[in-house]
Structure 1
Amino acid sequence: MQRTMSGERAAFNHYLRTGRRVAPVAIEVKFNPWHDEENGRFTFAGQGRYFPAGGEGKTGSAGMARPSRAATVPGGSGRNRNSADHPENHSLHVVQPGDSLSRIAARRKGLTARDLAWLNGQSVDQPLAVGQRIKLPHQAYLDAGRAARNRFLALAHYMDTHGGKFPPNVAHPPSLGSQILDSNWKRKVKNGYAFDIDVIARNRRTFGHLSLAVSPSRSRRNQAQAGKPDRLGDDDGGHFIAARFNGPRDSFNHFAQNANFNRGSYRTMEDSWAAELRAGHNVFVDIKPLYHGASKRPYHLTVTWYVDGRRSIKEFPNEAKGAKNGKR
């Protein structure tokens, strides 16, 4: 008999909490390819990262594996090479005058003084002695642990927002950041154009029928602020819908646009739209920018437009391309 989705979710939740399966082996592999059957912990394959499943030990904020008793007992399972105190996973820092746990931890991205104190078996408030040897985890070790933890969080969020369904690739679910940024868009409509805005106020799509402005109006302030703090030195404050097409002055209609691209190939395309409008044709545009992570500066634009129903499309990298044709 085929299991219901609610049954699978219950099994998965139990599995995450305890590391013990309550379903056939196939379910366990499908749920979590990093599960360690020997001790009920979660492991990042090939990197040796533990993530606790209701058992002994804890995982620090930096993603360091805190080994169980079985992992540290001589002659035990041999899993101690997966912990931060294994020689392959750290280097030794000799304490110099003026050193503190905070200063030493700052040498590694995401490492806290509290994690470093735990690794070295001392209190976070305990002063260091000059010449003391401090175990300092390798950055690759910390990064791998953080990546594995983020994958588990991303998988849980995906299932929670998709009715318990698994992503196409369970081992590599969409990142948590992309899942959040790619949902819950709000639509603003102004001057006849629709703008889809994400949770960090980025324009994700703009579309509408173009019209020629009698008196184009701009916001110099929004042009100057567009794309910050990710704006580059050779960027203009570009418009998704230009002022000459009655594009609104609001910030959501602006983006950090490479100046050469803005004044070159993008302007040439806009000139063709204006010519079609003056000839009495109907022009509908649909603009979709793409971003890296949470950057406010798009790296690519896909522009689709229809002239009396005839479709055209262009892909634009947001970089120098095309001849400069003066300011818009």
Structure 2
Amino acid sequence: MNQPAEPHITYTFAPGVSRLDKGRYAGLPIVEFGMEFDRKPGNRFPPADAAAWRLSCAGWRADIPDEAALFARFAETVDLTRVKAIIIGEWAQDSSDGPYEFTRLLVEHAPRLTALRSLFIGAVTYEFSEISWIVQDDLTPLLRAFPRLERLEVRGGERLGLDPLRHERLRILRVECGGLPGRVARAVAESDLPALEYLELWLGSGDYGWSGTAADLAGILSGERLPALRHLGIKNSEIQDEIAAAVASAPIVPRLETLDLSMGSLSDAGAEALLSGQPLTHLRRLNLRHHYLSEPMAERVRDAFAGTGVEVDLSDRQTADDGDWRFVEVGE
């Protein structure tokens, strides 16, 4: 895993690994805000701007309040005007419900959350919900309520919504899911995001919610609305060969530093498209990890980039099953 120091956004991530897994988010230590934390001897909350605050209500724990009570306590205890990063974890109801109350409360308190720059919605545990069953919400009100937000990350695709919009400050946009609704992919492609440097979309499979086509990404691949983009990840996709073919001639590619087509169903056909398309030797890193390339094709890819300085990841080679089925890495 290659993670240069923030805020220079050229890092890539191992499958299923978010920036939360080492106890830090947006360069800040994660602090779990709970009703009991400050009542334990020796526990003291850090300054509001010195932590990434994780808010969660696990439905099976009677000692954790609902979202409104938790957020009210948070607003009373922590100076909201100085909070830089918030992580929304489990919500109070069971996994069939989404983070609607949390998102409503964030929008309601936006006038006080003037320093908020980083937001992760749906950082739930596997025990609470598998990724394909994480219910999400419409992201549009959040982006409109926080025009200074620089980083938005989401886990889960069911009921996820987004309208095309313009956001002047957003630098990082990531969506982790087992199946991205096609309408969301199209909304991202139709949005004007002049500051966006890092875009990562997990498309997933049709069995778990992917309902788009490679054509839905045309607005992204043209680069017209993304003048600052330097990292593009279109990954965990069952149509990775089609994506590779589209990327091979995409106008945005010459501006990229890193390209991530990992976690999907890439086969020899997709690799051939990449090799016969526009040059990729300007890249710092090309991530094709978790692929279905034959060994001769993998060797061709290695040879094509030998001596160019491009770091190529061809690890985790998969083998199609007897029916030639190729699976994405993260589905259910």
Q: Tell me the TM-score range normalised by the shorter chain.
A: under 0.3
TM-score (norm 2): 0.27
Give the greater-gyration-radius structure (CA): 1
